[in-house]
Amino acid sequence: MALATLSLRAHALGLPVLSRASTHALRALSTTVAPAQEAVSSSQAEPFTHYRITLRRSAISLPKRIKGTLVSLGIHRRHQTVYHEHSPINAGKILRVKELVEVENVPASAVRTKTEQRQERKAPRGYMVVGSRLQEIV
C-alpha cells in the first residue's frame, strides 16, 4: 500500500500522519479497522469517534515502559476492554503496544462504561424452569 494511501487513511481515522518508518504499524492498525467501516453504508453511518481497546496478550516479562503504557491506557488485565476518544496521544499509545492489543473504531453510541460492561456480562436475576419431568409423567 502506498504511503499516500496510508496518510489518507490516517487522516480519515483521525490519526496523525506518520513517517515512512511507522507506516507498517499504521497498516496493521488500519487493516483491523477497515472491514467494520466497509460493512456500514456511509450515508447512514455514525462517525467513529472512539477506540475500543482490548488487551489480548499478557504483559508479563515486558519492559516497564510497555507496562506503563498499558496502565496509562487504563488496561490492567487480559481481555479487559477500555474506550478512548480518537486523539494523536491515544493513537501513539496504541502503536506502542500494538502487538498486545486489539483495536476497533466504534461510534460514541457503542461506548460502554465499566459498570455497563459488567451488567452486560451478568446473567438475569432469578431462575426459569425450562422443563419438568413431573409434567412428562402426568
Task: Tally the domains of the chain.
Answer: 1
What's the pTM value of the predicted model, to 2 decimals?
Answer: 0.61
Under a CB-based contact definition with an 8 Å cutoff, are residues 73 and 82 in contact?
A: yes
Q: Per residue in 121-137, pLDDT tens?
A: 988 888 877 888 877 77
Summarised one tens digit per residue, pLDDT across range 32-66 is 544 445 554 455 789 999 999 999 999 999 999 99
Could you tell me which residue, 101 or 21, shows the higher pLDDT? 101
What would the DSSP string read from start to end of 56-94? -S--TTS-HHHHHHHHHHT--STT-EEEEE--HHHHHHH
Residue 45's pLDDT is 84
How confident is the model at residue 79, as a pLDDT? 96
* Assigned domain for 109 exists: yes
Q: Is residue 62 part of a domain?
A: yes
Q: Return the closest-CA partner of residue 74 out of 57, 99, 52, 49.
A: 52
Domain holding 103: CATH number?
3.30.1390.20
Please answer whether residues 107 and 46 qualify as being in contact, where contact means their C-beta atoms are separated by less than 8 angstroms.
yes
105, three cell numbers: 473504531
Q: What is the DSSP letter of 22?
A: G
Give domain status of residue 129, yes or no: no
Q: Which domain holds residue 16?
A: 3-122
Q: Does residue 128 form part of some domain?
A: no
Whether 91 maps to a domain, the answer reads yes
Domain membership of residue 136 (yes or no) is no
68-101: per-residue pLDDT in tens? Answer: 999 999 999 999 999 999 999 999 999 999 999 9
Q: What is the mean pLDDT of residues 9-13?
A: 58
